[in-house]
Amino acid sequence: MSEKVTSLAEAVRHFIHDGAYISFGGFTVNRQPMAVAYEIIRQRIRGLHVYMHSGGQALDPLIGAGCVRAVEIAYGANGRFAPTCVRFRKAVERGELLVEDYTNYQMTLRFLAGAMGVPFLPVRSGMGTDIVNRWGFDTQMRRRDPQLPNRKLVVLDNPFADGEPEPVVLVPAINPDVTVIHVQWADTQGTVRIAGLTFADVEQARAARHVIVTCEELVEPEVLRAEPDRNQLPFFIVDAVVHVPYGAHPTACYGFYDYDAQHLNAYRALAADDERFAAYLDEYVYGVNDHAEYLEKIDTEALERIRAVPPFGYAPGLARG
C-alpha cells in the first residue's frame, strides 16, 4: 500500500490547518466532499478561507460550525433543497462571514489560471456589473494578506485590437493551499477517475499546493491504468487518498448513489434554528469518530433507497419532494 493512502483524520490533520486557503470540489448537491467537511468540523479547525464556484452542502455546515472566516464564491445554494444555503445566509446577514462574489465561469477560470501558472485570465462576463464594481474584501485586507490579489477584477481593453475599445475582465489566479475532492475511483498511487460531470474539480485540484482525494472505491493502479482515457488527474499531484464509501452523503455520487432528499430537506429545516443546528452537529459530526460511524446514524433503508440503478446512475422513482 502506498504511503498516500491514509485515514480521514490523518489527511485532515496533516494538510488542513487553522487559517488554510482551501477549495472544495463538487457542485451544490453532487460529489461534495462531505466526509472531509465533517472531519474539519470535528477537528475544530478555524479561520478557513474557502474558494468554491457553486458552494453547496459542504460549505454550509462548515460555516455554521464556525470554521470559515472568508469565502470567495459564485453561488451559495442547493437548488430545490435550499434556495439560499441556510447557514451561509445567516452568517452573511449577521456580519459573521466575509464574502466576495464572482461568477461560476470566473471562479472556474481563476482555478484554471492557478493550474496553468499564469497570474490571470481574461473573460467577457461582468463588465458594468457590481460583480466587477463591488469588492467583498477591502484594500486594507488585501494589503495585509499576501494570499489575496491586490484588486478584485480588472477591466482592460484588448491590447491586440485596433479601433473601437474592446473591454475584457481579467480574473486573478487562485492557488489554494489544499483542494479536496470526492470521486468515484482512485488508485493507491493517487490517479483519479471521475464519472459523470467533472464540474471544475480538475482545475481546482491542479491549482492547489496539496490535494486530498476521497473515493468510493480504492483500487490498484493497474485497474485505472487499463483505461487511462477515463482518468482525470495524474497521481503525482495527489497527496492523500482516503477510501470513504458514501463520502459525499447526503449529496449524490453519480453511478453510486443519489442525493438523500429526505436528509437534505431535514437539514434545511434544522439549519434554520441555531439550537437545532447545534444538535444536528452534535448528533452527526461531534458525536461520531469517523464517517463509518456517521453512516451508522443514517437509516440503512435510506441508503438503500438512494442506491444508483444502472444504467441511470441515480435512483429512479426516489421520493424527492
Partner 1 sequence: METYTARELMAIVAAREIHDGEIVFCGTGLPLLAAMAAERIHAPGAIIFFETGAVDPDLREIPLTVADPRVMYGASLNAGLAAAFAIMQNRFLGPKVVGILGAAQVDRYGNLNSTCIGDYSRPVVRFPGSGGACDVGSFVGRTIVFIRHEKRRFVERLDYLTTPGYLDGPGGRERAGYKHGGPACVISDMALLRFDEASKEMYLDRYYPGTAPEEVQAHTGFPLDISRAAPLDPPTAQELRILREEVDPQRLILR
**Interaction residues for partner 1, span 18-37 (CB under 8 A):** 26-30
Nearer to partner 1, 165 or 228 (CB): 165
C-alpha cell belonging to residue 189? 498511487
3-state SS class at 116: helix
Closest CA to 105 of 78, 126, 79, 134: 126
Site for partner 1 in 142-181 (CB under 8 A): 155, 165-168
Which listed residue (45, 92, 153, 186) binds partner 1 by CB under 8 A?
Answer: 92
Interface residue with partner 1 among 43, 69, 196, 217 (CB under 8 A) is 196
CA distance readout (Å), 8 to 12, 61, 68, 305: 6, 18, 20, 26
Indicate the SS3 state at residue 37: helix
The interface with partner 1 within residues 211-250 (CB under 8 A) comprises none
Rule CB under 8 A: is residue 134 a binding residue for partner 1?
yes
Nearer to partner 1, 84 or 150 (CB): 84
Helix (H, G, I), strand (E, B) or coil at 74: coil
Q: Tell me which DSSP letter residue 201 carries.
A: H
Is 105 a residue that touches partner 1 (CB under 8 A)? yes
Binding to partner 1 in span 256-285, by CB under 8 A? 258-259, 261
User: CA dist 92 to 41, 63, 64, Å?
Assistant: 19, 10, 11
Minimum CB distance to partner 1, residue 183 (Å): 13
Q: Report whether the peptide linkage leading into residue 119 is cis, meaning its omega lies within 30 degrees of zero.
A: no
Residue 76 is a binding residue for partner 1 (CB under 8 A): yes
Which residues between 42 and 61 bind partner 1 (CB under 8 A)?
53-54, 56
Residue 127 interacts with partner 1 (CB under 8 A): yes or no: yes
